[in-house]
């Protein structure tokens, strides 16, 4: 398992994205798959950077941990995001109603929906004071 540990701010977003995508691109996924993973990293990391630590990160707390592993046989990506912020299950929110007309639809709320749809599995746990989101996706 590879790991990167960053202060959970948008300033670290590019570094987190690069960390994940360097490993994903090493197994040559299709452009569609690459974009799906990139989108998942953005949606989850932006949520952590925006909401996990409402009191800010200035006291040295407020970290995010991103772990990745790609199995050598099946090319299954395991992607884990952890933070020590307020307990928050992003999967608890109901999916948006995607059958409504443009005027009826609410603006927003699509991020987690896209994550659920792009990954093969998404599991939330609160473990040892950490929000832990574990996602899996076959890259072949």
Please pick, from the candidates 31, 54, 56, 94, the single residue that binds other proteins as defined by CB under 8 A. Answer: 31
Counting contacts by CB under 8 A, is residue 127 touching other proteins? no
**Cα(118)–Cα(8) distance, integer angstroms:** 23
Write out the H or E segment, with its range, that includes residue 115.
helix 111-118
Shortest Cβ distance from residue 106 to other proteins (Å)? 9
User: Does 13 contact other proteins by CB under 8 A?
Assistant: yes
> Between residue 102 and residue 121, which ones bind other proteins under the rule CB under 8 A?
102-103, 105, 107-108, 110-111, 113-114, 117-118
DSSP string over 15-44: HHHHHHHHHHHTT---HHHHHHHHHHHHHH
- Which among 18-26, 31-39, 57-65, 66-74 is the span making contact with other proteins, rule CB under 8 A? 31-39
CA proximity to 70, closest of 28, 41, 132, 38 = 28
Residue nearer to other proteins on the CB measure, 27 or 39: 39
CA dist 97 and 104 (Å) reads 10
Rounded to 10 degrees, the C-alpha dihedral 31/36/37/38 comes to 80
- Residues near other proteins (CB under 8 A): 10, 13, 31-32, 35, 38-39, 42-43, 46, 96, 98-103, 105, 107-108, 110-111, 113-114, 117-118
């Amino acid at each position: 398992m590879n790991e990167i540990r960053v202060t959970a701010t948008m300033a670290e977003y590019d570094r987190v994205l690069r960390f994940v995508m360097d490993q994903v691109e090493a197994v040559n996924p299709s452009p569609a798959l690459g974009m799906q993973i990139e989108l998942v990293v953005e949606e989850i990391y932006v949520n952590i950077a925006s909401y996990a630590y409402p009191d800010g990160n200035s006291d040295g707390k407020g970290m995010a941990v991103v772990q990745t592993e790609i199995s050598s046989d099946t090319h299954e990506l395991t992607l884990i995001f952890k933070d020590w912020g307020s307990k928050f299950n992003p999967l608890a929110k109901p999916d948006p109603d995607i059958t409504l007309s443009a005027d009826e639809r609410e603006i927003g709320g699509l991020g987690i929906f896209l994550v659920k749809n792009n990954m093969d599995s998404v599991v939330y746990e609160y473990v040892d004071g950490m929000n832990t989101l574990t996602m899996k996706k076959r890259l072949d």
